[in-house]
Structures are given as structure tokens and as C-alpha cells.
Amino acid sequence: MELDLYWTTHAGLNLAALFKANPGRFPLVHLKDMGKTEKREFAEVGPGRLTSCAFWMLISYQL
């Protein structure tokens, strides 16, 4: 199953909790980030809501 990080964040779900509760369930992720404005436009990973550090921490739960 592929998890889209943008839409998961848009839905208000906690990515860390989701990965912890479902270890190994998401072998693929669609990596895109969400801007910090109210429009929640697409953003590169890092300057958006999901930092690069947080992304790698989340992925480490899947390894």
C-alpha cells in the first residue's frame, strides 16, 4: 500500500502515530509536503509542514 503524505497530513492524521500503529504496512510513500499557509498548497519537503528530519524518522519505522 502506498501512503500519500500530503493527503494524510491534510486529513489531520498524525503521521508518527500512523506509522507506529501500522509497522510495515506502508512499503511505499508518495512524498510531497504541504505549505504552512491556510491554502495548504503543495511544497517541497523541508520548508513545509513535514520537515526532512521528521520524514526520515517516520520512514525508519518501516525498516
Domain that holds residue 26: 2-60
- The answer, yes or no, to whether residue 36 has pLDDT greater than 70, is yes
How many structural domains comprise the chain? 1
In angstroms, the CA 61 to CA 63 distance is 6
**Which has the higher per-residue pLDDT, 57 or 38?**
38
Per-residue pLDDT reduced to its tens digit, 2-22: 888 888 878 888 888 888 888
Percent of the chain with pLDDT over 70: 78
DSSP state of 62: T
Q: What is the DSSP string of 2-60?
A: EEEHHHHHHTT--HHHHHHHSTTS-SEEE--EE-SSTT--EE-TTTSSS-HHHHHHHHH
